[in-house]
Amino acid sequence: MATSLRDDLRQARAFTSLEQEAHLNIVRTALVLGAALEDRLRPAGLSVAQFNVLRILRGAGAEGLCRYEVAERLLNRTPDVTRLLDRMVRDGLVIRARADDDRRQVRTAITPKGLRLLARVDGEVEAEHRRALGHLGARDLQQLVTLLTRARHPA
């Protein structure tokens, strides 16, 4: 049975506003969903941030992206994208190379090893999405997507 956020937090007092309750529900839900995804990725040796980088770079294709382009597309703000990419280069998941047309730009691309690892975890990630949210059904999920989009982009 679903419990309210107040119950989850063992909070006796009411929230100060409906907006506060909604905001805290979003934050709490994101943390719960993120922790479950981390658990799914851990056996593959990946963090959610690394998975996200690999997913972004797979979509970018062979040309890859500059560090700032990767940072702009990350779901979670990562304070040191350079260090994250350094670790991924060390692990052989991505490569960096200077752009031919502008030697000042360093582009990062996914390696074959990174593609294989991503393909291996794609099913696990999809299974986690279904486990965590599939019970809501298509209609509720579409409404949730619409409401969250509106919350991020107020008119």
Cα–Cα distance, 101 to 110 (Å, whole number): 20
pLDDT 10s per residue in the chain (155 long)?
667 777 777 777 888 899 998 999 999 999 999 999 999 999 999 999 999 999 999 999 988 999 889 999 998 888 889 999 999 999 999 999 886 666 678 899 999 999 999 999 999 999 999 999 999 999 999 999 999 999 989 87
Looking at the chain, the whole-number percentage of residues with pLDDT higher than 70 is 95
Domain ranges across the chain: 17-150
Cα–Cα distance, 93 to 137 (Å, whole number): 35
Left, alpha or beta for 149 (phi > 0: left; psi -120 to 50: alpha)? Answer: alpha
Strand, helix or coil for residue 12: coil
pLDDT of residue 44: 95
Cα–Cα distance, 41 to 38 (Å, whole number): 5
Q: Considering the domain 17-150, what is its CATH architecture?
A: Orthogonal Bundle (1.10)
